[in-house]
Amino acid sequence: MPNRFNRLEQKLRSWKVYQLVLVLILVKFTLNIILSEIATSIDPSSTYIESLEEMGLMKEVMLTVFFGPFIETLIFQLILIEILLAVMRKWAYKNQMAIGLATILFALAHSYNMIYQIVMLPMGFIYAWSYVFFRNWKYLMVAFWSVFIIHAMNNLFVLVWDQYAY
């Protein structure tokens, strides 16, 4: 399995950054639809965050599309992963450990309810893996801004989906 994953990463390095960002945005959109449907079939209120809707659409857009993704990318990818990679610099599986820990902490930070946290695990994984991949492929700021854009576009999609799909 590691060889297949390494071959996939090698193939992805032949792409342009914007191409991979677009593909990851599409993967996130698809995953969001599937996981949201599963979560709401278990508990219809599991993906509903009441406090966001009470603030009005413009504030909700600013918070969920710009401020939230910026702060979360800063905390859970840039700061957390960089600290973990520095601490584990001599470990054989430092990237995997950093991705795993960042994924779990990202999900736990979304503590609206347990189902929502479970839904956030694959989301957090995509952000953490993307950050480490872009960091190792290009450099820190490409990693930060790429993950921020993926996260912001995902949140915009969710916002529009929630406003108009139901």
From first to last of its 166 residues, the chain has per-residue pLDDT tens of 567 778 888 899 999 999 999 999 999 999 988 998 888 888 877 666 666 667 778 888 899 999 999 999 999 999 999 999 999 999 989 999 999 999 999 999 998 788 889 999 999 999 999 999 999 999 899 999 999 999 999 999 988 887 776 5
Compute the distance between CA of residue 89 and CA of residue 83 in angstroms, rounded to an integer.
10
**Residue 18 carries which side chain, given as an amino acid letter?**
Y
Q: What are the structure tokens assigned to 165, written together?
A: 């799909």
Note the pLDDT of residue 145.
Answer: 97
Neighbours of 53 (CB within 10 A): 12
Note the pLDDT of residue 134.
Answer: 96
Note the pLDDT of residue 22.
Answer: 96
Which helix or strand (DSSP H or E) is residue 95 part of? helix 94-109
Compute the distance between CA of residue 151 and CA of residue 141 in angstroms, rounded to an integer.
15
Note the pLDDT of residue 7.
Answer: 86
Note the pLDDT of residue 88.
Answer: 95
Which helix or strand (DSSP H or E) is residue 97 part of? helix 94-109
Angle at 72 (CA atoms; ends 117, 109), nearest 5 degrees: 30
Gyration radius from the chain CA atoms: 16
Note the pLDDT of residue 51.
Answer: 60
73-93 burial string, b = 16+ CB within 10 Å, else e?
beebbbebbbebbeebeeeee
Note the pLDDT of residue 1.
Answer: 53
